[in-house]
């Protein structure tokens, strides 16, 4: 991410906090400094508040029109005082003490409200104005372009990945039948469905989930949202045979995390995972709590938490590299992410050279699920998954950046 991108991202988050009435004094001081120091930040701040204001105004106008419509039938022109009190229902400020002045204002407000209702409900076609040369738009990363010549797409990433010399398994979820969608297009490690909760999973995998763009279909594992279930109730995918992780490996995918309901205790949602026994595991791409990225190779160790939390409802590009040291039985983990929904064009290095205890276990590979310490199916992913690619090399950042740009376009 460029410095400007980081600046605007921070300004956006602080302004959102301000709009929600939760900003602290320190945060306000920080926001003030950022806005005063940068023209772009200042424009973004004003535009953000305008949007907040428009939404607030529309919500209030709808309520006002409903209120006025119900009181119009009982309004009497001779009772100016009752008009003033109805029209000033939303008045929270000081009222002028002279009754006749209040009466005039009340009557005017009633006229104004009626006119505002007319303005709001009638389609207005303002004349097109030339852009104000003094108000150049700020440069928040824009949403990705639709697929087309010269622009990015998931299909372009799929194509690029499929031609990589180190690709060993590729799950694109494309095809006509469910079986086709579960095929490994680079190897022979095809997927099968895995139903949790003792085979009584109450929902189905969705094979027709929308991908990040129209060039792709994704898969959406089923996760039971009941408070007492969730971690061990749902449906995911796993390989039909054992997956043997190479000593240098990259797991690359697109994924969308959906927020878990309150009440599910210690939720874990797995996108890509293995497990051989209680200790020997490979939680390669997993979230804990409400979308915090985590890795785990040793069931008796603590989670390795990335400096990163998924924003619910947003598609992400994510790539994790794993380098095993067989002597020390440790793994060095690096993870890169980019928020596709926000059009982040530069990868964020959210897990940097973390040395973790254990090495990725050899077992069936779970996609959209993992395994409990008893090896039962568990931890269904919350959201959608697409374009899972496994490489037998730790790809470098430049290559991964190229892959990201394949999705977003240059």
Partner 1 sequence: MSNFPTSPDGSDESSPKVEQFAKLLATCQRRVFLYALRLLHNGADAEEVLQETNLVLWRKFDQFEPGTDFVRWACRVAYFEVLKLREKRPSRERLFSGDFVEAIAVEAEKSTELLDDRRQALTQCLQKLPQADRKLVLARYQPKASTRAVAESLERSVQGTQKSLHRIRNTLLVCIQRTLTAEERT
Range 1-60, binding partner 1 (CB under 8 A) = 12-13, 16-23, 25, 28, 32, 35-36, 42-43, 45-60
d(CA 147, CA 216): 10
Minimal distance, residue 220 CB to partner 1, in Å? 14
Q: Which of 72, 137, 148, 301 contacts partner 1 by CB under 8 A?
A: 137
Beta bridge partners of 333: 322, 354
Q: By CB under 8 A, is residue 206 in contact with partner 1?
A: no
The residue assigned the tokens 């005039």 is 104
Binders of partner 1 in range 343-402 (CB under 8 A): 343
- 109 token code pair: 């407000």
- 349 token code pair: 């290095």
Q: By CB under 8 A, is residue 214 in contact with partner 1?
A: no
Minimal distance, residue 266 CB to partner 1, in Å? 14
Minimal distance, residue 177 CB to partner 1, in Å? 28
Residues 260-289: x/- map of binding to partner 1 (CB under 8 A)?
-xxx--------------------------
Q: Which of 252, 257, 191, 260 is nearest to 224 (CA)?
A: 260
Minimal distance, residue 176 CB to partner 1, in Å? 26
Q: Do the beta carbons of residue 323 and residue 296 sit within 8 Å?
A: no
Q: By CB under 8 A, is residue 148 in contact with partner 1?
A: no
Interface with partner 1 by CB under 8 A: which range of 119-127, 231-239, 319-327, 384-392? 119-127
Beta bridge partners of 281: 275
Q: Count CA atoms closer than 13 A to 20's CA, side-chain side.
A: 9
Q: By CB under 8 A, is residue 212 in contact with partner 1?
A: no
Interface with partner 1 by CB under 8 A: which range of 132-140, 173-181, 186-194, 237-245? 132-140
Total of residues contacting partner 1 (CB under 8 A)? 81
Q: Which is nearer to partner 1, 17 or 151 (CB)?
A: 17
Q: Which of 193, 259, 372, 402 contacts partner 1 by CB under 8 A?
A: 259
Binders of partner 1 in range 308-327 (CB under 8 A): 311-314
Residues 59-98: x/- map of binding to partner 1 (CB under 8 A)?
xx--x-------------xx-x-------x-xxxxx-x--
Minimal distance, residue 140 CB to partner 1, in Å? 6
Q: By CB under 8 A, is residue 179 in contact with partner 1?
A: no
Q: Do the beta carbons of residue 224 and residue 215 sit within 8 Å?
A: no
- 218 token code pair: 């994704």
Buried b (16+ CB within 10 A) or exposed e, 247-266: ebbbbbbbbbbbebeeebee
Minimal distance, residue 215 CB to partner 1, in Å? 19
- Please give the full DSSP string across 93-120, using - where no structure is assigned: SPPPS-HHHHHHHHHHHHHHHHHHHHHH
d(CA 17, CA 37): 20
Angle between helices 39-71 and 80-87 (to 10 degrees): 140
């Amino acid at each position: 991410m460029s410095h400007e991108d980081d600046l605007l991202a921070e300004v956006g988050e602080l302004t959102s906090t301000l709009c929600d009435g939760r900003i602290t004094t320190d945060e306000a001081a920080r926001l003030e400094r950022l806005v005063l120091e940068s023209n772009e930040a200042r424009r973004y701040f004003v535009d953000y508040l305008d949007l907040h204001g428009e939404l607030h105004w529309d919500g209030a106008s709808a309520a006002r029109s409903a209120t006025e419509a119900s009181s119009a039938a009982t309004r009497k022109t001779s009772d100016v005082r009752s008009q003033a009190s109805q029209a000033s229902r939303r008045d929270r400020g000081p009222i002028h003490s002279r009754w006749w002045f209040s009466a005039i204002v009340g009557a005017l407000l009633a006229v104004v409200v009626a006119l505002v209702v007319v303005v709001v409900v009638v389609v207005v076609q303002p004349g097109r104005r030339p852009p104000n040369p003094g108000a150049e738009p700020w440069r928040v990363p824009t949403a990705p372009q639709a697929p087309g010549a010269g622009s990015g797409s998931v299909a372009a990433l799929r194509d690029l990945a499929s031609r990589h010399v180190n690709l060993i398994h590729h799950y694109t979820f494309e095809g006509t039948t469910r079986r086709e969608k579960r095929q490994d297009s680079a190897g022979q490690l095809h997927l099968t469905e895995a139903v949790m909760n003792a085979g009584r999973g109450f929902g189905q995998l969705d094979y027709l989930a929308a991908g990040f763009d129209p060039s792709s279909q994704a898969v959406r594992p089923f996760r039971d949202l009941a408070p007492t279930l969730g971690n061990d109730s749902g449906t995911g995918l796993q390989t039909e045979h054992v997956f043997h992780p190479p000593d240098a490996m990259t797991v690359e995918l697109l994924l969308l995390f959906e927020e878990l309901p309150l009440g599910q205790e210690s939720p874990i949602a797995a996108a890509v995972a293995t497990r051989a026994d209680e200790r020997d595991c490979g939680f390669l791409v997993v979230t804990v709590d409400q979308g915090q990225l985590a890795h785990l190779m040793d069931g008796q160790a603590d989670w390795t938490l990335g400096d990163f939390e998924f924003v619910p409802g947003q598609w992400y590009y994510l790539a994790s590299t794993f380098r095993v040291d067989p002597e020390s039985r440790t793994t060095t983990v690096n993870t890169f992410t980019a928020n596709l929904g926000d059009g982040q064009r530069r990868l964020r290095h959210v897990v940097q050279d973390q040395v973790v205890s254990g090495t990725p276990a050899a077992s069936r590979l779970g996609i959209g699920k993992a395994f409990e310490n008893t090896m039962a199916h568990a931890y269904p992913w919350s959201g959608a998954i697409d374009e899972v690619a496994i490489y037998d090399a730790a790809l470098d950042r430049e290559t991964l950046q190229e892959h990201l740009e394949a999705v977003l376009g240059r």
